[in-house]
């Protein structure tokens, strides 16, 4: 199955029916509240790679920590450049 790491915090995987957008999250021990490991949280299931990449891009833009329109513009251009290099793979 497909497993493409987009950034250190985001990836797109697939199963036999879907492309799956995922975001890394820290897992905490319920008793001690200590961070135990990283895991991935599903952001959504999509019928095409393009749809997963589009929604993942919107999620990434929404989570940016910017303080001006100029910073936002630069960050969006960087994301577009990153995602432009991805080719839509076929599901196995």
DSSP string covering 8-65, please?
SSEEEEE-SS-EEEEEEEEEE-TTT--EEEEEEEEEEEESSHHHHHHHHHHHHHHT--
The answer to whether residue 51 sits within a structural domain is: yes
The answer to whether residue 91 sits within a structural domain is: no
Q: What is the pLDDT of residue 91?
A: 52
The answer to whether residue 77 sits within a structural domain is: yes
The answer to whether residue 53 sits within a structural domain is: yes
Cβ pair 22, 40 in contact under 8 A: yes
The answer to whether residue 92 sits within a structural domain is: no
Task: Report residue 77's pLDDT band, with 50, 70 and 90 as the boundaries.
Answer: confident
pLDDT of 82 higher than 80: no
pLDDT in tens, 47-76: 999 899 889 888 988 888 888 999 888 888
The answer to whether residue 34 sits within a structural domain is: yes
pLDDT in tens, 2-47: 899 988 899 999 999 999 999 998 877 777 777 777 889 999 999 9
Q: Which domain covers residue 8, as residue numbers?
A: 3-84
Instruction: Provide CB contacts within 8 A for 23, sequence distance 6+.
Output: 9, 10, 40, 41, 43, 59
Number of domains in the chain: 1
Q: Give the residue, 86 or 50, on which the prediction is more confident.
A: 50
């Amino acid at each position: 199955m497909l497993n493409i790491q987009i950034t250190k915090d985001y990836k797109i995987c697939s199963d036999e029916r879907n492309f799956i957008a995922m975001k890394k999250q820290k897992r905490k021990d319920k008793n001690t509240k200590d961070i135990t490991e990283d895991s991935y949280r599903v952001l959504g299931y999509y019928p095409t790679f393009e749809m997963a990449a589009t929604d993942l891009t919107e999620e990434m833009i929404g989570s940016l920590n910017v303080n001006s329109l100029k910073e936002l513009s630069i960050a969006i251009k960087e994301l577009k450049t990153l995602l432009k290099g991805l080719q839509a793979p076929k599901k196995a």
